[in-house]
Amino acid sequence: MPTEFRNEPLTDFSKEENAQAMRAALAKVKSELSREYPLVIGGERITTDAKLDSINPASRTEVVGRFQKATKELANKAVESAAAAFQTWKKTAPAERADLLFRVAAVLRERKHELSAWMIHEVAKTWAEADGDTAEAIDFLEFYGREMLRYAGDQPLVNVTGEENHLNYIPLGVVAVIPPWNFPLAIMAGMTSAAFVTGNTVVLKPSSDAPTIAYKFSRFLKRRVCRPA
């Protein structure tokens, strides 16, 4: 069992070392702007003729990333792929699913300023707002991982003489996650991880105003699934 849940500390940017770390992250992200990203369906990277640009609302000439517009057929393909993956994922041990969230949380913690920098560019958050968003995403991963372990354990039931009762929580299937733009990492990561850790599969359609941060999170998640630390 992991340690007791504690909220991720916020960064004190009055300390010069923290401010310098954020400036370095902003410079790194700025060097990676305007890249094109694919749709990812069942591990397949897909490009389409129709594109969507993510624009920095504080600097309308700055393209944060270029994305593919999906079709109805591709949306159906995503659901079908998730349904197929569900047949395997639902059988994955709860402890293994929880451990995945803990490992992703560790990655987010290591790259906290980089993720915050993406949000500063993509939705024009202030340093403190972006840092709080990233911290909350880490909180969701850590909390939901612990909750999965709790739900997977023995559940309290009323004992009735002559009966033997059990309560088990089971995954249900494919979940559609459509998060808003204003907490593009925290709400997106919270909704996705809650569904994922409970044995469901997810079709993630991020806000059109904040697709880059969702893509970055999905890549962290994929790496932890395919190559456990």
7 assigned to some structural domain: no
- Looking at the domain assignment, is residue 53 inside a domain? yes
Domain coverage including residue 102: 16-156+164-226
Q: Residue 210: inside a domain, yes or no?
A: yes
Phi, psi of 22 (to 5 degrees): -70, -40
Tell me if 8 is assigned to some domain.
Answer: no
CATH, residue 62:
3.40.605.10
**Tally of domains in the chain:** 1
Q: Does 32 map to a domain? A: yes
Closest by CA to 85, choosing from 227, 226, 228, 229, is 226
In a domain, 9, yes or no: no
The answer to whether position 140 is within a domain reads: yes
Q: What is the pLDDT along the chain (229 residues), one digit of tens a residue?
A: 689 999 999 999 999 999 999 999 999 999 999 999 999 999 999 999 999 999 999 999 999 999 999 999 999 999 999 999 999 999 999 999 999 999 999 999 999 999 999 999 999 999 999 999 999 999 999 999 999 999 999 888 888 889 888 889 999 999 999 999 999 999 999 999 999 999 999 999 999 999 999 999 999 888 655 444 3
Flag whether 10 is in a domain. no
HSE-CB of 87 using CA atoms within 13 angstroms = 5
